[in-house]
Structure formats: C-alpha cells, structure tokens
Structure 1
C-alpha cells in the first residue's frame, strides 16, 4: 500500500492506532513524499462473522490498488461498500445486493481479492463512513506513504519519527509483520470465545445437577403423583433455558453499560465506539438458549430416570 506506514506511537495494539488528520497534511508536505493514503480501521461483529474488518479509504487513494477488483467498481458514496471474496461467500451476497452491518445498510458495488485472508473477509467503505462508524470524525488509523525515491525511504522514516512525536513510521514490510500479529490476536480472541462458551455450558450443567440433587425428594413426589418421565425432562430443560435467558438479559445490560462507560472515557473514546445492532442481541439470546438446552440435557435425563421410591427415601 506504500513504501512507509505511519501509525500512532506506543499504542498497545495496532487496531487502536489513532492519528489526527492534520498529520496527514503535514506528512504530504514533506518534499520527498509522493503520495499519502490515510486509512481508517474499524472492527464490527455480525452473526456470520465474529470479527468483520472494515477499511475506510478515499476512493482516489493510491492504496486502493491493493484491493484488486474481481467485479464492479470502487466506492463513491457513503452508502456503498466493496467486500472481499471470502466475505461475499460467507454472507452469500453479490453485486448490487444490500449488506447490513451494525444496523447500517450498504449497497455492494464491488468484490475484491487481495490474497490476505482477514482482508478478503472484510470490506472497504468511504473513509468518512468508517470515521463515522468509529466515532472519530477527524482522525485516521494509519497513513500509507509513497516516496519519490524508494532509496530514501529510511531517511523519510527517520524524519517523520523525529518531527511527529505522536507517530511511529516504519518500512511497510515491517508493518506487514504487525498485521500478521493482529491476525493471530483475532484467532486467539475467537478461541477465547469458544472456551467461554464451553465453560458456560459446564456451569449450566453443574448448576442444574446441584438443583436436581437438592430437589430429589420433590421430584420423587411428582413422580409418585403421576408425573411422567417426559414431563420431568421438559420441566428441567425449561428451567435450564429460563436460567440462561435471564443470564443473557443481565449480561447484555451489563455489556451495554460497560461499553458505554468505556466509550465515554476521554482516552478510550478515540478507539471504542458504543454501537450495536439488533443482530448482536438476537445472536446472544440464541446462543444462551442453545447453551441452556445443551447444558440441561444431562441433568434433565438424570432427573427423569429417578425412581419414585428411591427419590422419596433420599435425605
């Protein structure tokens, strides 16, 4: 995308990088610089993809050449998007279809392929639209810089690092390694999410098993007065489902509150945007329901197998 990549200095993760647009204009004024391409990075979630990368670029930016079109054209309006071939396959969409992301609807005007997995699983919108999504109207994530003479790239890197204390410039090959690290981080995040779901299922199962032990005599009484095994099974599953749905409501409220508080913090507001859509909450409740049913299956089966006589003797 350029000989040199500029991002925020001393930022914990490259996805948190934020630079004022004034830095773009000042770097463009350096005599050795040929072109500058500001880029805004945004991550959003969707039911189909836990991490959808949106890049914001000026349609006339030289960096656009990196996104080689398979079909269509580049974006011209804020309501348009070009998406990677992987994303098109995942969402099952094509040219002129509408893609809904975080409650925003975009018309697909192009499909690109870069050969980089996480890029081909994302999309590109107009830079102003990406800034709006991130709540950062006058800042960019990175600046891709092309120099007149590639042999002077190291010299320009040193100049930028010296002149702009808030920025860190590096040769683009070094930046590519950082993007690989980011891709690894995204993979680890997905693994953590799966682990959290597994732990959640175990906790639900354990909670329901303890409940069955404590209510053994009650279940025995119900069996003695005529409750069938199927009814006991359904009752325990219903309780497990209710427990998880209540937890989903509480978790959603806490999540919204925490994200809103973080987004209002002076420093974090540059990096965190308190935006969500109905899809996120629907996914959360469906996940909770599935966990409730799966986590309650064994306890429900165990409860349905209790013999009335044995259950009534249980102390």
Structure 2
C-alpha cells in the first residue's frame, strides 16, 4: 500500500485525471439513483393529491404505459352503479431531439385534472382540438404559447398553454386531449388507465371488487386503503428499479473504463516491474491497491 501511494504521486496529472473520472462515474450513479427515488415519491404524492376513488388499469401491466383498456371495457366501467365520472388517460412516450423519453398524457377531461395544472401562460386546449399543454420544464427548451412542437414525424401540435405543477413528473410532460393523443399513439380505441369518481357514500372497496370480478383482465384498486396507491406507485417502483440499474451500469462502465485506460497507459511500467523480478501477483496487488485508493479519493 505505501508503494501504491508513492506510485500515485509520481504522476500527479494522470492520477488526478483518473480520480476525476471515477468521481464523475460515482456522481452519475448517485444522481440517477436520486432521480429514481424522487420519481417514486412524486408518483405517490400525485396519486394522493388527486381526488380519485378507484384506479383501474390492465392486470398484467407493470406500468400504465404498457396498460391497455379497450373501449368496451371503458364503457362498462362508466355504467357501474355509483360511478359519477370516469376519467380516461393514455400514457405513451415519444422521442424528441432534446428528450428521448418525453411522456405524453392524453386526458378525456382536462377540466377534471386542471387543479393539478397551474397555468402560467395560455389556456387549456379546446375539447376536440389537437393543441397541447406543456410543462414548464418543456417550455424551458425554448417553446412558447403559439409555437408548434413536433411529437412524431410530420405531427406538429400547437402549444395552447404552459403549466407548472408541484410534481416534476407533470412539469416534464405534454398533456393533450385524449382523441388527439389516441391518434398520435395510433391507439384509437384504447386507454391506459381509468380514474373513477364515485357518488358520495358509495362503497369504493365493493366497487373495486365488482370491477375485478366483471373484468378479469383489469385490476381495480380503491383509494383510501392500504394498497390505494398501488397502481401509480408500481410505475414509480419499476421506473426506480430501471433507473437504478441504468445508474449502476453507467457508473460501473465509466469507472471501469477509466481504470482500464489508466492501466493501458502503464504497459511499459508493468513490463519494467516484471523485468526486475516482480511476480504477476505482486504487480496485480499493487495495481489493485492503487485502484482502491483512486476509488476512495473519487
């Protein structure tokens, strides 16, 4: 270990650059992990803030983005006794030049979710229009009310308003009327989730059980129970896991690449050590000691 420490000091610039590279890799891991945890917390908070009585999505879907509820099922949900309002939502990602995974949210009734969207410019799109709302994080990319945003090739949508929300998830998304979203996603007869608002005094748990019995392919969860946040929280859990794995992979690749590059630059040095009688085990022990010191410093 003392030899490894002295060896690091012999080439200060190389050692400093290696430490810097490791630090970047670790910072990337910590940042992405923090983002994934924040994502989950915001999903939980968003579901608590929305005055929804029953959540419905397809049973086999890990996230609302992969969920599919067809028109027959939606109509059946709306006809269940005690249901006053059925809010249909469609979630899907699009790729843009500045965001490879921009989430678009189609909503059947923008008025029903307007409480979560504080308008800072413009107004809600007219029902049936193809206009969109953008979160302020999207607007920070240079988009303003009246401009057009390309969500898919040859599909340009006029921005009718910019909103801000306490939930960063919404701030970085695009919200639009459901019919326009269905056309854009090429899913004209399907939605991702249905939020049910029940009449006062209705049995939410009983309604959820009834839905699960009537529609075996769907999963309904009442609000106000232990698992009330399960549907939306699941999206956060899956996204947190994926982000954590990506963070670990990205950080690991960056750190490994930095250390490997450091070793390839020292081939001659390793050859000299072996020429004067060092064994492979001694060389490896010294290099591992240096790598450990670099990681600790990073």
Q: TM-score, normalised by structure 2?
A: 0.60
Distance 1:15 1:117 in 2: 18
Q: Cα distance 1:38–1:102, how it changes in 2: closer, same or farther (>3 A)?
A: same
What is the match of residue 128 of structure 1? 179
Q: Cα distance 1:61–1:5, how it changes in 2: closer, same or farther (>3 A)?
A: farther
The answer to whether the Cα contact below 8 Å between 1:5 and 1:170 also exists between their aligned partners in 2 is yes
3-state SS of 2:204 partner: helix
What is the match of residue 238 of structure 1? none
3-state SS of 2:206 partner: helix
Distance 2:139 2:201 in 1: 36
Distance 1:72 1:175 in 2: 34
Per-residue CA deviation, residues 204-249 of structure 1 (Å, 9 max, x unaligned), is: 9969x98xx9xxxxxxxxxxxxxxxxxxxxxxxxxxxxxxxxxxxx
Higher relative contact order (CA 8 A, sep 6+): 2
Q: Which moved more, 1:197-206 or 1:17-26?
A: 197-206
Which structure 2 residue ranges, 5 or more long, are not aligned? 1-49, 268-298
| Residues 179-194 of structure 1 aligned to structure 2 (within 5 Å) | 179-193=232-246
Q: Identify the match of residue 205 of structure 2 among 144, 150, 154.
A: 154
RMSD of Structure 2 on Structure 1 (CA): 3.2
Could you list the structure 1 runs, at least 4 aligned residues long, displaced by more than 6 angstroms after superposition.
Answer: 203-207
1:30 paired with 2:77, answer: no
The answer to whether the Cα contact below 8 Å between 2:62 and 2:238 also exists between their aligned partners in 1 is no
Which structure 1 residue ranges, 5 or more long, are not aligned? 214-315
The answer to whether the Cα contact below 8 Å between 1:20 and 1:138 also exists between their aligned partners in 2 is yes
Q: TM-score, normalised by structure 1?
A: 0.57
Distance 2:219 2:241 in 1: 26
Question: 1:12 deviation in Å?
Answer: 3.0
What is the match of residue 21 of structure 2? none
Q: Identify the match of residue 7 of structure 1 among 57, 64, 74.
A: 57
Aligned pairs, how many? 213
